[in-house]
Amino acid sequence: MDIYFKKIMILLLNQRYIFKSNFYVYQLFMQNIPEFLKHDIFV
């Protein structure tokens, strides 16, 4: 989980401008982190 967390943080930093301009996307992302992890999107 620590590796996933680091990758998520990197992704959030890289896509920060998108989340800033669209807070709904950010909320949706945060609410669905388990789904993202389950599908190994960050691997």
Whether 1 has a pLDDT exceeding 60, the answer reads no
Phi-psi region of 14 (alpha: psi -120 to 50; beta: other; left: phi over 0): alpha
Whether 43 has a pLDDT exceeding 60, the answer reads no
Question: What separation in angstroms does the CA of 22 have from each of 6, 31, 39?
Answer: 22, 15, 23
Whether 9 has a pLDDT exceeding 70, the answer reads yes
pTM of the model: 0.31
The number of folded domains in the chain is: 1
pLDDT digits (tens, 9 = 90+) for 16-30: 655 565 676 667 777
Do the domain assignments include residue 43? no
Whether 13 has a pLDDT exceeding 60, the answer reads yes
Do the domain assignments include residue 22? yes
Show the domain range for 31. 2-38
